Every structure is written in structure tokens, then in C-alpha cells.
Amino acid sequence: MAKDRNRHVCQACGAVFPKWQGRCDACGEWNTLQEEAPPPARGPGPAARAAGGRRVEFVGLQGQAAPPPRIPTGLAELDRVLGGGLVPASAVLVGGDPGIGKSTILLQAAARIATAGRRALYISGEEAVAQVRLRALRLGLEQAPLELAAATALRDIAASLEEEKDAALVVIDSIQTLWLDALDSAPGTVAQVRACAAELIRLAKTRGFALVLVGHVTKEGTLAGPRVLEHMVDATLYFEGDRGHQFRILRAVKNRFGATDEIGVFEMTEGGLVEVPNPSALFLAERRGNVAGSAVFAGIEGTRPVLVEVQALLAPSAGGSPRRQVVGWDTGRLAMLMAVLEARCGLTLGMNDVYLNIAGGLRIAEPAADLAVAAALVSAATDRPTDPETVYFGEVGLSGEIRQVAQAEARLREAQKLGFAGAVLPRRLARGGRAPVALEGLRLAEIGHIADLVAPFAAKTGRREKEREAAKAG
């Protein structure tokens, strides 16, 4: 029988190599390969069959199962992202940049769960108990019956959790600080993170408590450690936003018990993270009307309609390659949209520096924002403001056509609720198309091509030029 050889695992991406090399061929990082012992062989071989196994029961597709029970966190926005609350015996991974508020929101949620009569345990591997108490005092949570501990050794944490039979919630802050003495690698490496997470998830499944793991992120914004960690947990939540900005966006990118791409909006204050029940009003609170380069986008985040302001600024390029600076949107999609405006509408945008910003710190990923971005670009290029009481949504194709998007009625209702009087949206399909509900007091402008959006701005610019010429002649 061949002897098992040690393998070399990249600590950046988790790729496995038979021997050491300076550069990882999978992710391109240097000096990230470390030697590890191979995992024990497992599989349904003759020895496993001889040991005896229990027959797996197969059932049909018919039948109903009760929805999983929920543990309310006391934060409505967090419950929305989780799908209604924490599920017992589940594992949730929360990631985000340092200082964005991961520990704050989990401390608030754990304290509220403990105050509601359930037992909550908070284990910190980055801070001492005194530091956690100081944060709780600042947040006004010092009276909550929350149980704290500071530990990094997985054996000690596992032994303690094995004896806890009535815990409803266990928070580990963070998974990168834990270490297992059976492994030679340092804390935070691929092997340590994978082994520690697997043991904690096993405890959560067997003991029935909800487990929340805090994960660090890399400079690219992805969770540090192996990608397999995201597959091991039941839900993965990302904290978005800038530390210098007051808004925080909690987004679900994976959820086995609820909808994905659901968001929760919070505002960072001196007393911690405060829920924002109506994010549209907050994102548009500082908006100024009648300013060129601004348009309001009616978007959908998960199941919630959200209205945000799209801002565009064009400036003559100082020379060389024009700059394309984008915050909150896809840079490649901006380049495609500018190419469509130049090729299909005759606008000259390529020699200008273009700056695009989604106000409020929200990141937009859906293609429905194309029409609002195009409106902001055309408004900035012609120096003519958009209608301040109009919202825009629709996908733009390469031929300039405006394509349909989902949940048009929900977008229109949100716009009407916030006092908007009009909407520019895609034209309904000739066959099988369903027109959006005509809401009272809301005028709809259905367009089928990007040229229909540019024409009003060009007409306004033409009239302005004629007025200037007439004033000079007079």
C-alpha cells in the first residue's frame, strides 16, 4: 500500500499541489503554499460495508414540510435579510470590511435575543471581555443578560459548547482567529479556517443552536479563506458601505431559508446601527432637483423596491486616456452604455472624463439601471437637467432597444409613494406583454429605443441655442 504524502495547500485560494512551488498557479499569489497532512481516507469501500450501514430511506415528491422555526433578532432589517429570523441549528457567515459594523450589529442582535429570554453566547477571539463590555456600554446594552467569553483555542470552545444544552445563539468573532492544535498551520490559514468551521457547524447541528461566524474580507472584497467555507454555511451575509459613510447595507448572497439578494439598510450612529425602514426616502433626502447629470432610478433589491439617485459628471479630458471613475455600478457596463449612446444616438462622450456615482453608498447590480444611467449621462452631456419628478428604469441593448425588466408595478408604486409624478420605462411587448398598472396621478412615458430618451434633451438644447442666437442678434 502506497504511503500517503503530505500535500501543499495555497493559503489564499485553497488550491492543492503535490509539491511546493513559489507561485500558486490557481490564483497567482506568491509564497502562499504550506505543507499539510492529507485528510483521512473516506469512502464506501469494503471495510465500510463490512462495518455495517443503515439503509437510506427514499420518499416521493409529494408531501409538505412545516417551515423552519425562527428566532427573532429584534432588528427588523436583519430579520428581513435572514428571511424572518435565525433558524435553530443553522450556520450564518457574516463578512465585511474592518470597522464597518459586523461586531456592532451582532452584539446588538445577541443582546436583544438574550433580553427576550433566550440564552445567547458571544465568543470573541479578537477582543478581551473588557473591550466587549465597553462597546456594550456605549451601545446602551450593559444590562442585557448576554454571556461573554474570550477564547481562540477550538478545543476549549468546543468542550464548552458541548456542555451547553439550552443555548439559542452562539456568535464567533471571528473564525480567522480560531486555531486547532492538531494542525501545524497558523490561525487564519485555509486548513485552520476549514477545520474550525466544520467543527463548529457540527456542534450547531447536534446541539441545536444558531451559529453566527464573523469572517474577514480581502482587499478585493471577498471573504478571506477558502470558498468552501461559504458552501458549508446555510447563509452568507455581506456588509457593504464605506466607513466614512453613515449608511450600511447588509446583503444576503446565499440563504437556504430565505430569498437571496435581500438587503437591510442601517444607519451608523453614536448609539450603534439604527434600522432604516424606508431607505428610498433616506437615499433621496439630500437630492437637489434641476441639476444636470442627475436621474432617479427605481430599482429592486431582493423583494424591496428602492429609489436611488444616479449622478454623472462629464469633464474635458486633460490629455491622454480619458478617466472612467465609477462608484456603486459596473465599470464595464458604463463603457458599453457610452458606446451605445455614441453609435446609436450620435453623442460624443469618448473624449471626456466620466464620473458616475450611485448616491447613498448602495451598489446596483441589476441591468434595469441602464436607462437611469443613460438619462444621467445625456443630461450631463447636454447640460439639461432631467425632470426632478420622474423616475427611470429599463435595460438598454446593444442596438439601442429598451428591454423589459421585472416587477415594474412595485417600482411604480414606490415612486408614487414618495411623491414622484412620472416614470420613463420600457414599452410593453406587442404580443403577450402586460402593461404596468396605471397608478393615479402617475404619468408613464413608454419608450422603445434609446433615441427616444435622447430626443427631448436634444430639443431643449436646440431651443436654448436659438434663444442665445436671438439674444445676440437683438
CA dist 384 and 294 (Å) reads 10
Q: Count of alpha carbons within 13 Å of 222, Cβ hemisphere only?
A: 9
Within 10 angstroms of residue 382's Cβ, the number of other Cβ atoms is 21
84 is in an annotated binding site: no
CA dist 175 and 411 (Å) reads 39
Biggest alpha carbon–alpha carbon distance for the chain: 104
Q: Which of 387, 192, 201 is nearest to 291 (CA)?
A: 387
Say if CB 233 and CB 196 are below 8 A apart: no
103 is in an annotated binding site: yes
Q: How far, in Å, are 223, 320, 346, 379 from residue 317 at the CA level?
A: 37, 8, 19, 18
102 is in an annotated binding site: yes
**Which three three-digit cell numbers place residue 269?**
450612529
**Angle at CA 159, nearest 5°, toward 158 and 164?**
90
Strand partners, 251: 238, 263
DSSP string for 159-205: HHHHT-SSEEEEEEE-GGG-B-TTS-SPTTSHHHHHHHHHHHHHHHH
**Which three three-digit cell numbers place residue 255?**
440563504
CA dist 139 and 146 (Å) reads 14
79 is in an annotated binding site: no
Q: Which of 465, 456, 455, 460 is nearest to 344 (CA)?
A: 455
Q: Count of alpha carbons within 13 Å of 39, Cβ hemisphere only?
A: 9
DSSP string for 310-373: EEEEEEE--SSSPPEEEESS-HHHHHHHHHHHHHHH----TTEEEEEEETTSPPP-SGGGHHHH
CA dist 450 and 60 (Å) reads 51
CA dist 260 and 236 (Å) reads 9
99 is in an annotated binding site: yes
Q: What's 32's DSSP letter?
A: -
Within 10 angstroms of residue 326's Cβ, the number of other Cβ atoms is 17
Helices (H) and strands (E) in the chain, counts: 12, 21
Instruction: Detail the residues annotated as belonging to a binding site for ATP.
Output: 96-103
| Residues flagged as binding site | 96-103
